[in-house]
A and B are shown apart, each in its own frame.
Chain A
Amino acid sequence: MKRKLAAAIVIAGMMVSVSACGGDDGDDKNAGPDSFKGQTLTVWAMDGSTPDQWVKDVTAAFEKKTGAKLKFETQKWDGIQQKITTALSESNPPDVLEVGNTQTPAYAATGGLADLSDLKKEIGADWTPSVSQSSVYDGKQYAAPWYFTNRVVIYNKKIWAKAGIKDTPKTRDEFFKDLETIGKKTDAEPIYLPGQNWYFFDGLTIGQGADLVKKEGDKYVSNLGDPKVAKAMEIYKKYASYSKAPKDKDEATPQQAEVFAKGNTGAFIGMGWEAGTAVAANKAIEKDLGYFTIPGETPDKPEGVFLGGSNLAVAQGSEKQALAKEFLKIALSDQYEGQLAKLNGVIPNKKSLESNLKGNAVAEAAVPGSAVGGTTPLIPEWGAVENNPNPIKSYMTAVLNGKSPADAAKQVEDEINKRLAQQN
C-alpha cells in the first residue's frame, strides 16, 4: 500500500511540472544623499535608444559629478511589460528605467514608479506638454519625458527612379498613384506593409480623428466599431493591397527593414532607426535610401502618426532615488538631450532643442508628422490591451482577409473590453 501511495505521489508530481509562478516579499528603500561614492546606478534602456557616444559622454559626466558608477543594461521591446513588472516587484530593481509612453500610466498605477513631481519643478518647466502628459497620473509626474519619434516613409530611390517618379508624393492619393506606377513599371514590390503594423494603423485612426476607446459610464470600452476607425482601416487596406507581405504578421517578423534591404521593395513605413537596420543587413542599400513624411488627405496636413516615445522613470523600490535623480538631471540636460536628438534623429523633450535635428533627413521627414501626431489612449487600463496576442492586430488581419470592419470589430470587442475592465 505504501508503494502504491509513493507511486501515486510521484506520478502526480510528474504531471505537475506544467507551470508555476512566484512572488516574494522584502521591502525597504531610502535615499541616501551625499556620499554617492562606491555606489552603482543601474539604468535599463531599450534597444536602440542609447547611442554609444551618448552613453560614453553621459557616463563620464555622471561619474565626474557624483563619484558613483553608472551601468546601462539594454532591454528588448518584445515582452517588456512582463519583464518590467517582475523587475519592479523585486527587492533590488533597476534604479532608472526607460518606459514606453503608452505603457507609463499602467506602471504609474501599480505604484512601482517613484513620484518625480519635484524633479519636474526643477528641470521640467519647458518640457513639451503633449509629450510630458503621458507620464502624469493622478496629478503626479511619474516619469520624465525623454524623447519621441514617429514613423516616416522610407523608400528606395533607385526603384522610384526606375518607375519614372520624379518627386515624393504630397497627398495620400498621389502616394497610391506612385505605388501603382511602381507596381506596373518595375518588378519590385511597391511597398512592404504586413497586416499587423498596428502603430501605423493607430496613426491612421489619429488622422481620422478617431479614438480606440470610449467612455461608457465610468469605464472604458472598445471604440473599434466607430465608422471613423473603419475608414482608417480601409486606408490601411488600400496600402496593404500594394504589398505581398503576410496579413497576420507585424513589422518585426520578419524585420521589415531587412526585407526592404534586399533591394526589391519600393518603400516601407517605419521608424528612422530602421534605416540603420536595413543598412546593417545590406550595405549597398545605403545610397538608395530616401525619406518623406507620410502624406495625408491634403498637402497641407500630413497623415496622423503615432508618437512613439519613451520616458525615464525611477523605480519606487530603488534605494538610490537621490542618485537616480542626479542621473536624470544630467541625461535630460540640454547638452545631452540635444546630443541624443542629434545622434538618434529623435525628437527631444523640448521645442528649443529641435534645432539639433537640422540636416538629419529622417528627422526632417518626421517633424511635420509629429505636429499632427497622437498616442494610444493614455489610461492605465490601456497597457493590458497591448499584451500579446493583441486584439487590435487580430482586427486588422480579419479586415485584410475580407471581413467587414464592423464585423471584425464585433469579433474582438469582447476581448478588448475584458482587458480594459481588468482591475489593477
Chain B
Amino acid sequence: MSVQTEGTDTAGEPAVRKARVPAPPRGDGRSPGAPSRRHAAAPYLLLLPALLATAVLLGWPLVKNGMLSFQNLNPRQLIQHLTEWNGVDNYQEVLSGDDFWRVVGRSVVFTAANVVLIMVLGTLVGLLLARLGKKMRLLLMVGLVLAWAMPVIAATTVYQWLFAQRFGVVNWVLDKLGWHSMADHNWLQTQFSTFAVVTLLIVWQSIPFVAINLYAATTTIPKELYEAASLDGAGAWKGFTSVTLPFLRPFLYATTFLEVIWVFKSFAQIFAMNQGGPDHLTETLPIYAYVEGVGNQHFGVGAAISFLTILVLLAITSYYLRMVLKQEEDEL
C-alpha cells in the first residue's frame, strides 16, 4: 500500500499526500515511564502544517466560493465592489434548468467510460511490465513516464494538431492509407467524436500512473505463493485470480477512486480541445461552471455550479469513502 501513495504525489494533488499524513504511527506515545504531555501533543503538531496548508489553500477559497454562490455577482457588482445577497436564487436557477441535469448525466457517463478504459488498459500494461525482461521493461517505463510527465496543455495542443481537420497527421495518414473520405474529416464536429478524441487523450495520459503502480504492487507478492498455487494445480488464470488479484484489490480500489476524481474534474483537456463544443455538447460539470461563471461573467451562478459539482463528486465517490471510513473504524 505504501507504494501507491508515493506515485500519487503529483503536482496537482497535494491533498493526496496529506491523506497519508494523518495516519500516525500505531502504538505511539507509549514511551517508557510516564506518558509525557509533550509526546501526546507530537502527532498533532506534526499534523498542523498539513492542516494549515489545507485550510489556507482549500478551506478559505471554499468558504469564499460558498459565499459567492449566494450573491448576484456580475461585472457591475465585481467592478464596483457591490455585495448583493440573493439567497438561494443561483441554486434555484441552476437546479430548475434542465441544462444542469443533462450536464451531470454527461459527466457521469464520461467519467465512467474513461475510468473503465484507464483501469483495464492500465492494469494490462502493469501486468505486462511485471512480465517483461529488464531492458524492455526499462524502455516501456521510460515511455510511460514521458507520457505521464507531459504537461496537460502541451499534450492537448499536440492532440489538437494530430486531429486537425486540414493539416492533421491523423487525417493525412488515413488518406495515404487509401481512406480518402477521411482527408478532410472534422474530428470535433460531433459530440461523440469530440469525446472520443478527449477520451483517447485522457486515457493515454492516465495509463502510466495505473500501470507503474500496479507493477510496483505486484513486486510485493511473494513468489512462493505462485509456486504453491501451481503445485496445487492452478493454471495461469487461476493463479491470477486467486493470488495476484487478492493482493492487488486494495490497490485497485484506491487507484479507481483517484482516477474517478481526476477524470471527473478534468478541465484543460476538454476545454482546450473544443471549448465544450460543438454547441455545449461536451460540457462536463467543471466546464459548465467555467462557461457560465467566468465565461459569461455570471460569477455567482458559476460558484453555485461549482459547489454542486463538489456534491455530485462526493455522491459518486461515497461508496469508496464509506469503505475507507469503515475500514478505519475496524482498525481502531
Binding site for B on A (CB under 8 A): 1, 3-4, 6-27, 81-82, 85-86, 88-89, 106-107, 109-112, 244-249, 254, 259, 316-317, 384, 387-389, 394, 397-398, 401, 411, 419, 422-424
Contact = CB atoms under 8 A, between A and B. Distances in A.
B286 A19 contact: yes
B317 A89 contact: no
B325 A19 contact: no
B326 to A, nearest CB: 9
**Main DSSP-derived SS at the B contact region:** helix
A11 B186 contact: no
B58 A89 contact: no
Contacts of A422: 74, 296, 298
B276 A389 contact: yes
> Ordered nearest first, which 3 A-B pairs have the shortest CB separation?
A20-B61, A14-B15, A19-B306
A1 B19 contact: no
Contacts of B215: none
22 contacts: A1-B332, A3-B23, A3-B328, A13-B15, A13-B18, A15-B261, A17-B13, A17-B58, A21-B68, A21-B294, A23-B77, A82-B295, A110-B76, A110-B78, A110-B80, A111-B79, A111-B80, A248-B188, A316-B79, A388-B275, A389-B280, A394-B278
Nearest to B257: A11
Contact of B19 (A14, A25, A248, A388): A14
B193 to A, nearest CB: 11
A110 B278 CA distance: 31
Interface size classification for chain B: 35 or more
A251 to B, nearest CB: 14
B165 interface: yes
Contacts of A88: 75, 79
B83 to A, nearest CB: 9
A25 B81 contact: yes
A20 B304 CA distance: 10
Given A1-B332, A82-B297, A384-B297, 8 more contacts: A3-B328, A8-B325, A19-B306, A20-B61, A27-B81, A107-B75, A317-B79, A394-B277
Nearest to A13: B58
A187 B59 CA distance: 62
Nearest to B97: A418
B59 A13 contact: yes
A397 B278 contact: yes
B266 to A, nearest CB: 11
Contact of B306 (A9, A20, A107): A20
Given A13-B59, A15-B317, A423 B81 contact: no
A23 B297 contact: no
B298 A23 contact: no
B223 to A, nearest CB: 34
B10 interface: no
Contacts of B279: 389, 394, 398, 411
Interface string B1-35: 00000000000110110110011000000000000
A3 B330 CA distance: 12
Task: Name which of A3, A18, A25, A424 has the most chain B CB atoms within 10 A of its CB.
Answer: A18
A397 B293 CA distance: 25
A112 B75 contact: yes
Contacts of B156: none
Contacts of A317: 79
B115 interface: no
Nearest to B54: A13
A23 B73 CA distance: 9
Nearest to A397: B278
